């Protein structure tokens, strides 16, 4: 009987390993890189820690939802069922999902990948891989410009494709399925006047070209709203958000995810002068990731 149990356990392990890895591409600019402060709390530079992740886990509206981020010993949870690959400079950071997979190195910040990965890991029986590819200060108008938009292909469109292909090649013989694309980007287009009227079509072209690149014609797509600062009723931010939503509506199997509700006051955030980065508020980044994942789940159904 003992041998039979061991054999069954081994068989189940083999079957689990044989299931295709669910791969999600997370792309964009600095807000996808991740600017949510984890624990730094200096009075001068981090507002005494207000709005960082440690503070938010005790004091924010989302404290209960965030409890899962630490284990019973108070250490940050590292998911063994959700892996992440993120190239920063010349180095690829890889491992189980936890805090710190941003452009800063170490464990000082988080991005949307944390909330997104926890939801996806709980949703799937199969293992999940997040391939994150992001750079600060990059526009869809120029830097990420897709081939179908005409003109010069953006160098960061090319780099994005190269980084995703490299991460997939690194899987070797592991079976995988590209399960979705997550796009969190827009600040540089919003502050570039001629970019806004083109944004909707450029977004449509981006998705079309990436689906072709990766032979995933129905790849689910979620687009995160540039919700910095909360609701607005006029101006460049208002016009840009409309362009984001209009472009997303033209894409089959895609959802536009509103994020303005996740904006937190500057005075309750670590970086009160960094409105372009959600004031560094960790709760904002966690909730953005969670909302993007909930949207993705609805498309996957």
pLDDT value at 40 more than 70: yes
Average pLDDT of span 38-57: 98
Let me know: does 251 contact 220? Beta carbons within 8 Å: no
What's this model's pTM, rounded to 2 decimal places?
0.94
Q: Token pair of 207, please?
A: 């998705």
**Residue from 79, 82, 81, 53 nearest 67 by CA:** 53
Domain membership flag for residue 8: no
237 assigned to some structural domain: yes
Q: Please answer whether residues 280 and 274 qualify as being in contact, where contact means their C-beta atoms are separated by less than 8 angstroms.
A: yes
Question: Is residue 10 included in any domain, yes or no?
Answer: no
Average of pLDDT values for 106-116?
Answer: 97
Count: domains in the chain: 1
Q: Are 301 and 180 in contact (CB under 8 A)?
A: no
pLDDT digits over 123-159, tens only? 999 999 999 999 999 999 999 999 999 999 999 999 9
What are the residues facing 92 on neighbouring strands? 87
Q: Are 203 and 195 in contact (CB under 8 A)?
A: no
1 — pLDDT class (breaks 50, 70, 90): very low
For residue 30, the domain's CATH number is 3.40.50.1110
| Structural domain contains residue 4 | no
d(CA 23, CA 242): 29
Distance CA 12, CA 300 (A): 25
Average pLDDT, the chain: 94
DSSP the chain: -HHHHHHHHHHHHHHHHHSPEEEEEEEESHHHH--EESS---HHHHGGGTTSHHHHHHHSTTHHHHGGGB-TTSPBP--SSEEEEEEETTEEEEEES-TT-STT-TTSEE-THHHHHHHHHHH-SS-EEEEEEE-TT--TTTTT--GGG-SSPPHHHHHHHHHHHHHHHTTTT--EEEEEEEEE--HHHHTSTTHHHHHHHHHHHHHHHHHHHTT-TT--EEEE---TTS--SSHHHHHHHHHHHHHHHTSTTEEEE--GGG---GGGSS-TT-GGGGGG-HHHHHHHHHHHHHHHHHHH-
Q: Does some domain include residue 51?
A: yes
Cβ distance 92 to 162 under 8 Å? no
If one compares 7 and 279, the residue with the highest pLDDT of the two is: 279
281 vs 8, 127, 195, 220, CA distance in Å?
Answer: 47, 29, 28, 28
Q: Has residue 3 been placed in a domain?
A: no
pLDDT of residue 52: 98
Name the burial class of residue 201, with classes exposed (0-12), middle (13-18) and buried (19+) by CB atoms within 10 angstroms of its CB. middle
Domain extent for 201: 21-300
Phi, psi of 170 (to 5 degrees): -70, -15
Please give the pLDDT value at position 17. Answer: 56
Find out whether 115 and 290 touch, Cβ atoms under 8 Å.
yes
Please determine, for residue 108, whether its predicted confidence score (pLDDT) is greater than 80.
Answer: yes
What percent of the chain has a predicted confidence (pLDDT) above 90?
93
Residue 7 included in any domain? no
What pLDDT, in 10s, does the model give residues 191-225?
999 999 999 999 999 999 999 999 999 999 999 99
Backbone angles phi, psi at 96, to 5 degrees: -70, 140
Query: How much is the average pLDDT of 275-294?
Result: 98
Question: Does 36 fall in a domain?
Answer: yes
Beta bridge partners of 184: 28, 224
């Amino acid at each position: 009987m003992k041998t039979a149990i061991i054999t069954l356990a081994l068989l189940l392990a083999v079957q689990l390993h044989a299931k295709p890895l669910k791969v999600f591409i997370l792309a964009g600019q600095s807000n996808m890189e991740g600017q949510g402060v984890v624990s730094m709390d200096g009075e001068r530079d981090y507002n005494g820690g207000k709005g960082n992740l440690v503070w938010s886990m005790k004091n924010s509206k989302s404290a209960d939802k965030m409890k899962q981020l630490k284990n019973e010993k108070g250490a940050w949870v590292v998911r063994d069922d959700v892996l992440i690959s993120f190239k920063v400079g010349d180095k690829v950071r890889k491992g189980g999902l936890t805090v710190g997979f941003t452009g800063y190195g170490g464990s000082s910040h988080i991005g949307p990948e944390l909330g997104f990965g926890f939801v996806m890991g709980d949703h799937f029986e199969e293992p999940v891989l997040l391939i994150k590819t992001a750079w600060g200060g990059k526009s869809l108008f120029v830097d990420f410009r897709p081939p179908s938009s005409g003109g010069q292909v953006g160098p960061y469109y090319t780099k994005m494709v190269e980084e995703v292909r490299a991460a997939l090649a690194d899987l070797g013989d592991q079976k995988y399925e590209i399960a979705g694309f997550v796009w969190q980007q827009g600040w540089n287009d919003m502050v570039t006047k001629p970019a806004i009227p083109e944004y909707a079509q450029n977004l449509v072209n981006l998705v079309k070209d990436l689906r072709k690149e990766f032979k995933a014609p129905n790849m689910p797509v979620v687009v995160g709203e540039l919700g910095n600062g909360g609701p607005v009723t006029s101006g460049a931010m208002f016009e840009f958000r409309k362009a984001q939503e209009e472009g997303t509506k033209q894409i089959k199997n895609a959802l536009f995810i509103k994020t303005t509700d996740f904006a937190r006051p500057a005075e309750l955030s670590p970086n009160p002068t960094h409105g372009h980065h959600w004031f560094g508020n960790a709760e904002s980044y966690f909730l953005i990731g969670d909302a993007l994942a909930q949207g993705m789940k609805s498309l996957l159904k």
